[in-house]
Amino acid sequence: MRGPIIVEHATDASLDNTKSLTYDVKADGRLLRVFFKYSASGGGSHTVTVQPLAHFSDGKVATAWPVDDQGTTNYIVQPDQGSFSGTGNQAGKAIYVLSDGVSSEYRITITASTGGISALHVVSELL
């Protein structure tokens, strides 16, 4: 029986202006969900991004998501391009890797903008 693998990467963490946190998650052929929330004191645009890091064929090479003929990736990852940007507090947001098939590892990156962020929580779930 293969149950979900849940990892808590950050709990009530803080991140200064223009700083980033990075977490690498080995997918083991599973679907990935990344859940996050944070509080922001500044007016900048803070981002959370999930991208393929290691493909089965070429090892660790950070790359962009493949796109369809419409130039979107929404059939593989939600939201499009695996990236979420927002100002102010973000609660209950998620990035879903629906189907990739070639990536064995993903990189989660959180980047703070003006004012930084606090009360950061990041959880990954492999299904």
Strand (E) positions, 56-89? Answer: 59-60, 77-78, 83-86
Hey, which residues does 21 pair with through a beta bridge?
A: 110
CB neighbours of residue 28 within 10 Å: 10
* Alpha-carbon torsion (66, 71, 74, 79), positive or negative: positive
User: Is residue 24's pLDDT more than 90?
Assistant: yes
Q: What is the mean pLDDT of residues 90-96?
A: 87
Residues 36-73 have pLDDT tens digits of: 999 887 677 899 999 988 776 666 776 778 887 888 88
Q: Of residues 40 and 21, which shows the higher confidence score?
A: 21
